[in-house]
């Protein structure tokens, strides 16, 4: 894998073979009162990969993320993280501590606190909000917050109340709240929703920068955004993997065209 792959003219050409999986889902089944939300779903994400998950409403994308983060227990199947830890046996808190961060579609920042304080709280997840604001940061923690602020272009907003940020800036701050915890795998649910075109373009740039040092799984409906970021795309349909490969491959797949992309 080389950086130059990211600069090729056709984003779909960036698909890379990954050898070491960070996450391996094997024959996952989830049903809700007899309704099968995921059926024998198997999926692998490589270390440093940026994977997009697409598919029609109700395909099982959220349920997939819920299984990975321990919110939903599958009826059967395994979810191996980092090759040996089965996430289906861990609690959501243990899974987060193991290095898996999730960002929901709607930003959930503390609006009455400053940008810096939001990052401070995220860094000290073992404490309550007020206890963490009272506890002192060591210099390494301060440096980590400063680096994340810079990376997210929020350096000038550090003392601003989070409630006064734009929608896009709140989204970036929430990504920052994950990054200060130094996750290995980031799960992002429709990160570009509600963003301006400029913010969307910058989010794509940010994700491409994060890939390599982080593994990313991005659920997204905006195909323009998928096109700018995806190495490798998985199409879910009715709780199963319908197709997988480069964006170009899945866009040419007749079944994917029928159930999702349209003719």
Ligand X SMILES: Nc1ncnc2c1ncn2[C@@H]1O[C@H](COP(=O)(O)OP(=O)(O)OP(=O)(O)O)[C@@H](O)[C@H]1O
By CB under 6 A, name the binding residues for ligand X: 32, 35, 37, 55, 57-63
Closest CB 63 distance from ligand X, rounded Å: 3
Question: What is the SS3 string spanning the chain?
Answer: CCHHHHHCCCHHHHCCCCCCEEEEEEEEEEEECCEEEEEEEEEEEECCCEEEEECCCCCCHHHHHHHHCCCCCCCEEEEEECCCEEHHHCCHHHHHHCCEEEECCCCCCCCCCEHHHHHHHHHCCCCCHHHHHHCCCCHHHHHHHHHHHHHCCCHHHCCCEHHHCCHHHHHHHHHHHHHCCCCCEEEEECCCCCCCHHHHHHHHHHHHHHECCEEEEEECCCHHHHHHHCCEEEEEECCEEEEEECHHHHHCCHHHHHHHHCC
Closest CB 9 distance from ligand X, rounded Å: 31
- In the complex with ligand X, the residue whose CB is nearer, 62 or 181, is 62
- In the complex with ligand X, the residue whose CB is nearer, 173 or 236, is 236
- In the complex with ligand X, the residue whose CB is nearer, 152 or 235, is 235
- In the complex with ligand X, the residue whose CB is nearer, 55 or 74, is 55
Closest CB 219 distance from ligand X, rounded Å: 7
Closest CB 57 distance from ligand X, rounded Å: 3
- In the complex with ligand X, the residue whose CB is nearer, 23 or 180, is 23
Closest CB 112 distance from ligand X, rounded Å: 29
């Amino acid at each position: 894998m080389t950086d130059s792959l990211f600069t090729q003219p056709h984003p779909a050409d960036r698909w890379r073979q990954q050898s070491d999986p960070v996450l391996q889902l094997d024959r996952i089944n989830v049903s809700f009162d007899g309704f099968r939300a995921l059926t024998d779903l198997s999926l692998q994400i490589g270390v440093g990969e940026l994977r997009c998950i697409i598919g029609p409403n109700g395909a099982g994308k959220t349920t997939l993320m819920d299984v990975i983060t321990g919110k939903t227990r599958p009826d059967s199947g395994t979810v191996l993280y980092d090759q040996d830890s089965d996430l289906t046996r861990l609690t959501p808190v243990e899974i987060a501590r193991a290095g898996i961060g999730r960002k929901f579609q709607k930003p959930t920042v503390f609006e009455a606190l400053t940008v810096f304080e939001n990052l401070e709280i995220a860094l000290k997840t073992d404490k309550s909000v007020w206890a963490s604001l009272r506890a002192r940061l060591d210099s390494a923690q301060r440096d980590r917050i400063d680096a994340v602020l810079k990376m997210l272009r929020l350096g000038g907003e550090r003392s601003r109340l989070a409630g006064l940020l734009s929608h896009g800036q709140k989204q970036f701050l929430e990504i920052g709240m994950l990054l200060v915890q130094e996750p290995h795998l980031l799960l992002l649910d429709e990160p570009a929703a509600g963003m301006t075109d400029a913010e969307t373009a910058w989010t794509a740039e940010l994700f491409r920068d994060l890939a390599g040092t982080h593994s990313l799984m991005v659920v997204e409906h905006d195909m323009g955004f998928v096109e700018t970021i995806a190495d490798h795309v998985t199409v879910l349909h009715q709780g199963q993997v319908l197709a997988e490969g480069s964006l170009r491959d899945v866009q040419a797949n007749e079944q994917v065209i029928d159930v999702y992309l349209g003719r």
